[in-house]
């Protein structure tokens, strides 16, 4: 009676501790990553910089205004020699500590009326640069998605492999216990007992290594999550596959939405505007300027009796300035030629990127279909090896086969389950690559 109560308590306790372990779902991991990942934070800050640069405040369309003011104080000793017109004799006048005070203030206004449309194209170029930064942020997030779920599914893979190794260790421990009893009662040789001990030790080592690999992977996941947390959590091991379209539709979607291709297209647009900005230097520049100034000069104890003691002036000044650089030694022409070549290079880079991505897409698509076939084959292999192991275990208990044959059946089962586990997650990781190539990875649920 007490024994049954004790067993019941152990079952309840194991259930409680099993469910008390925190489960980090794929959706939770994604939300944490989007909020805390360091790379995404940096990319978003770079986007803010690009937004500031594309503002009208950085376009050159707005006028400039400045206030300047100053004050000057002078205290000098002066000596003036002059000819007295009434007598014709030289005379001199000496002044010590002659003070001169000068005050001035000016409000200036400048505006470029025309610059060959250079500002217009430069402003559009800045807008395209901002759009390019948006695509770069998107690429960073896509890459982070792949990094996140690659290590997340790696943890899931290691978790299931660890469970398989734990089960194998349990089977080996039961076998060791059986071999010990048989040896003690003279029903088996010491060699079988020692072999069972060796197998338990090997399985224990494999299980410990699996636990260590799992802990390392969780710490790697923490880096991507951007958090510092204990590695006691578990992850979801269920894998759902998305229904992908046929190859032709997938290729069309990739050429239209792939983030790398769209960045190349934005670079072409930026280069086109750069050519127009360079050509704008062929035209004249017309500037308008206006200012309002106030000046005051006060002279005390003048040595020169005919000088003014107080001078003030104020007024509005305005003007137009036309500048046309007719010839600059060929520098403008060189810049335009180089800009055209740079545009041609961007177009070539786009075509190269298309060829590369189409090739990657084709390879990944075939790998994905092959992996799905391997997954089905491995599922069948597991059913076969499980059936074989169960029969082998029954025959082993009846003493109809040796421990070596039993061990081989056990290894075959472990290898089959591990291969199925690897195939399951390999297929999902290849699917992630397809989703990233097609530009759809941010639109699917995991």
Residue % of the chain over a pLDDT of 70: 92
Predicted pLDDT of residue 431: 96
* Residue 194 falls inside a structural domain: yes
> Is the same domain home to 47 and 93?
no
Q: Is residue 147 located within the same domain as residue 261?
A: yes
**Confidence (pTM):** 0.84
Q: What pLDDT is recorded for position 85?
A: 73
Segments forming the whole domain that contains residue 291 = 66-114+285-323
Residues 6+ positions from 199 with CB-CB distance below 8 Å: 172, 175, 176, 407
95: Cβ–Cβ under 8 A, 6 or more apart, which residues?
77, 78, 79, 301, 302, 303
Picking from 299, 323, 347, the residue at the C-terminal end of a domain is: 323
Based on the fold, state whether residues 130 and 101 are members of the same structural domain. Answer: no
168 and 85 share one domain: no
Collect all residues with Cβ–Cβ distance below 8 Å to 357 and sequence separation of at least 6.
254, 255, 258, 260, 261, 437
Domain annotation covers residue 130: yes
The neighbour count for residue 202, using CB atoms within 10 Å, is 13
Q: Is residue 1 part of a domain?
A: no
Domain membership of residue 363 (yes or no) is: yes
In sequence order, what DSSP letters do the residues of 328-345 get, joined into one string? -TTHHHHHHHHHHHHHHH
Q: State the Cα torsion 117-123-125-129 to the nearest 10°.
A: 170
* Domain contains 18: no
435 and 309, same domain (yes or no): no
Angle at 319 between CA 315 and CA 320, to 5 degrees: 170
Q: Supply the CATH number for residue 343's domain.
A: 1.20.1600.10
Question: Cα dist. 89→78, 95, 190, 236, 408 in Å?
Answer: 20, 20, 143, 113, 134
In a domain, 4, yes or no: no
Q: What is the DSSP letter of 246?
A: -
Q: Are 229 and 193 part of one and the same domain?
A: yes
Q: Give me the residue label for tokens 């492999």.
A: 161
Which pLDDT does position 230 carry in this prediction?
Answer: 87
Residues near 74 by beta carbon (within 8 Å), at least 6 away in sequence: 99, 100, 101, 102
Tell me: do 334 and 438 sit in the same domain: yes
Task: For residues 186 and 269, state if they share a domain.
Answer: yes
- Report the domain count for the chain: 2
Residue 303, pLDDT score: 52
Residues 300, 433: one domain? no
The residue among 24, 297, 300, 350 whose CA lies nearest residue 159 is 24
Task: Report the C-alpha gap between 20 and 7 in whole angstroms.
Answer: 20
d(CA 152, CA 28): 12
- DSSP strand pairing (64-83 vs 234-235): unpaired
Residues 235 and 303 in one domain: no
Are 15 and 91 within 8 A, CB to CB? Answer: no
On whether residue 431 sits in a domain, the answer given is yes
> Which distant-in-sequence residues (6+ apart) come within 8 Å of 191 by Cβ?
none
Domain boundary among 274, 303, 323: 323
Given a contact cutoff of 8 angstroms between Cβ atoms, the answer to whether 146 and 433 are in contact is yes
pLDDT at 29: 95
Q: Which residues of the chain have pLDDT under 70?
A: 1-21, 82, 84, 91, 300-308
CA-nearest of 217, 214, 218 to 206 is: 214
Same domain, 96 and 232: no
* End-to-end Cα separation, the chain, in angstroms: 48
- State the DSSP code for 79: E
Query: In whole angstroms, how far apart are CA 67 and each of 76, 173, 243, 294, 309?
Result: 30, 89, 66, 11, 27
Q: Assess if residue 225 is contained within a domain.
A: yes
For residue range 164-190, list pLDDT tens digits in order.
999 999 999 999 998 898 888 887 788
């Amino acid at each position: 009676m007490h024994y049954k109560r004790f067993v019941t308590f152990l079952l309840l306790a194991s259930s409680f501790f099993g469910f008390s372990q925190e489960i980090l779902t794929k959706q939770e991991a994604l939300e944490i990553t989007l909020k805390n990942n360091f790379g995404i934070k940096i990319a978003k800050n770079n986007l803010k910089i690009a937004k500031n640069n594309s503002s009208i405040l950085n376009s050159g369309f707005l006028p400039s205004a400045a206030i300047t003011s100053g004050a000057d104080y002078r205290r000098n000793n002066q000596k003036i020699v002059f000819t007295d017109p009434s007598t014709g004799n030289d005379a001199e006048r000496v002044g010590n500590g002659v003070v001169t005070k000068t005050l001035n203030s000016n409000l200036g206004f400048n505006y470029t009326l025309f610059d060959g449309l250079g500002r217009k194209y430069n402003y559009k170029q800045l807008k395209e640069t901002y759009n390019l930064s948006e695509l770069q942020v998107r690429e960073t997030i896509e890459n982070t998605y792949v990094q996140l779920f690659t290590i997340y599914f790696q943890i899931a893979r290691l978790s299931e492999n660890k469970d398989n190794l734990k089960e194998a260790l349990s089977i080996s421990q039961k076998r060791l216990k059986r071999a010990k009893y048989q040896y003690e009662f003279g029903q088996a040789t010491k060699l079988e007992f020692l072999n069972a001990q060796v197998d338990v030790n090997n399985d224990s080592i494999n299980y410990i290594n699996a636990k260590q690999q799992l802990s390392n992977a969780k710490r790697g996941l923490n880096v991507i999550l951007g958090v510092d947390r204990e590695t006691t959590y578990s992850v979801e091991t269920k894998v759902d596959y998305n229904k992908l379209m046929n190859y032709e539709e997938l290729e069309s979607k990739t050429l239209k939405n792939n983030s790398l291709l769209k960045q190349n297209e934005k670079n072409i647009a930026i280069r086109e505007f750069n050519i127009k900005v360079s050509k704008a230097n062929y035209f004249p520049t017309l500037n308008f300027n206006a200012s309002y100034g106030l000046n005051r000069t006060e002279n005390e104890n003048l040595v020169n009796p005919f000088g003014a003691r107080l001078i003030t002036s104020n007024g509005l000044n305005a003007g137009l300035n036309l500048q046309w650089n007719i010839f600059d030694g060929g520098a403008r022409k060189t810049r335009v030629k180089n800009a055209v070549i740079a545009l041609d290079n961007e177009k070539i880079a786009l075509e190269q990127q298309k060829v590369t991505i189409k090739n990657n897409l084709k390879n990944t698509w075939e790998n994905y279909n092959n992996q799905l076939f391997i997954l089905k084959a491995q599922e069948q292999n597991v059913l076969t090896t499980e059936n074989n192991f169960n029969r082998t275990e029954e025959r082993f208990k009846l003493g109809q086969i040796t421990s070596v044959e039993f061990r081989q059946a056990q290894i075959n089962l472990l290898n089959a389950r591990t291969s199925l586990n690897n195939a399951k997650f390999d297929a999902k990781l290849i699917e992630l690559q397809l989703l990233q190539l097609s530009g759809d990875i941010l639109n699917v649920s995991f």
